[in-house]
């Protein structure tokens, strides 16, 4: 029997953590290998992110790697190429547990983003649940019963306009998290190549405050390093990218060699 109770345990552990005010840390996947993905996804991290906006993977590759990550501790998310119904539909049909949606600048755009992630009558997502249901380990009817509540919807805040409209963006029902893009935001504000310029940081703090006031999880794509990540957590950021798999691999090798050769 399908459990329709709102008391059921959430399947999306990342969304559950964020709704509970906890921190969910993630890694960007650039090594498109199933074994590498599983190693990262079982490292203790909360989520892994496949980037189809700026990253190299095709949807076919993402589809296989999402399946490869099933049963791991971290949940797979996809950053789509644009706030586009077809791009979001295809990403979610891989079985991903959520999407990060670029270039959301207004409340209206946020409403569209949410609608693209939900099946009717709450949204306009095209209904072909067989493949994602199988990835989740559910029957189709079970998947349809829970998925509108379980998909994580994160909107990227990466322009001056988005910051100016942040209060209306985070007021949209169904927006679970924001995800500041420091590089694009700094470009939009006229500080190219300075993602943590004081004026950009000030804009980020406005986003942070608005998120906290509205109950939306404040997120950011990356930080300057481990100490900066801890500073961001202290400030109240909850949905944070800690780096890429390739970057962490290089850092791990470098730090190990330093200890050996000191």
Q: What is the pLDDT of residue 194?
A: 98
Q: What is the mean pLDDT of residues 188-214?
A: 98
Q: What is the mean pLDDT of residues 59-74?
A: 97
Give domain 13-261's CATH architecture: Alpha-Beta Barrel (3.20)
| For the chain, percent of residues with pLDDT exceeding 70 | 96
Q: What is the mean pLDDT of residues 149-153?
A: 98
Q: What is the pLDDT of residue 12?
A: 97
Q: Where are the domains of the chain?
A: 13-261
Flag whether pLDDT at 156 surpasses 70. Answer: yes
pLDDT band, residue 10 (cuts 50/70/90): low
pLDDT tens track for 16-55? 999 999 999 999 999 999 999 999 999 999 999 999 999 9
In terms of Cα–Cα distance, which of 119, 113, 120 is closest to 99? Answer: 113
Flag whether pLDDT at 1 surpasses 80. Answer: no
Q: What is the pLDDT of residue 3?
A: 45
Which residues does the annotation mark as catalytic?
A: 54
Flag whether pLDDT at 115 surpasses 70. Answer: yes
Q: Which residue has the tokens 């939900």?
A: 118
In terms of Cα–Cα distance, which of 114, 93, 251, 134 is closest to 177? Answer: 114
> How far is the CA of 85 from the CAs of 31, 81, 89, 125, 207, in angstroms?
27, 11, 6, 7, 25
Q: What is the mean pLDDT of residues 129-139?
A: 96
Q: What is the pLDDT of residue 206?
A: 98
Q: What is the mean pLDDT of residues 204-210?
A: 98
Flag whether pLDDT at 116 surpasses 80. Answer: yes
Flag whether pLDDT at 2 surpasses 50. Answer: no
Q: What is the pLDDT of residue 11?
A: 87
Question: What is this structure's pTM?
Answer: 0.95
User: Over the chain, what is the mean pLDDT?
Assistant: 96
């Amino acid at each position: 029997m399908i459990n329709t109770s709102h008391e059921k345990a959430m399947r999306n552990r990342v969304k559950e953590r964020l709704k509970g005010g906890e921190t969910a840390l993630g890694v960007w996947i650039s090594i498109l290998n199933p074994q590498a993905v599983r190693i990262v996804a079982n490292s203790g991290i909360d989520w892994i992110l496949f980037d189809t906006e700026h990253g190299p993977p095709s949807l076919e590759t993402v589809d296989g790697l999402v399946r490869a990550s099933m049963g791991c501790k971290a949940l797979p998310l996809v950053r789509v190429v644009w706030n586009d119904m077809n791009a979001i539909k295809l990403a979610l049909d891989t079985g991903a547990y959520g999407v990060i949606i670029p270039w959301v600048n207004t409340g209206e755009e946020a409403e569209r983003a949410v609608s693209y992630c939900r099946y009717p009558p709450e949204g306009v997502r095209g209904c072909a649940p067989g493949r994602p249901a199988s990835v989740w380990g559910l029957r189709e009817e079970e998947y349809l019963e829970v998925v509108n509540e379980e998909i994580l919807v994160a909107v990227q805040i990466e322009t001056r306009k988005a910051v100016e409209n942040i209060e209306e963006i985070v007021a949209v029902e169904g927006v679970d998290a924001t995800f500041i893009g420091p590089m694009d935001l700094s470009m939009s504000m006229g500080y190219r190549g300075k993602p943590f310029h004081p004026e950009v940081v000030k804009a980020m703090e406005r986003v942070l405050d608005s998120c906290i006031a509205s109950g939306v999880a404040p997120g950011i794509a990356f930080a300057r390093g481990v100490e900066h990540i801890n500073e961001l957590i202290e400030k109240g950021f909850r949905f944070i990218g800690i780096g890429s798999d390739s970057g962490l691999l290089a850092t791990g090798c470098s730090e190990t060699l330093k200890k050996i050769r000191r």
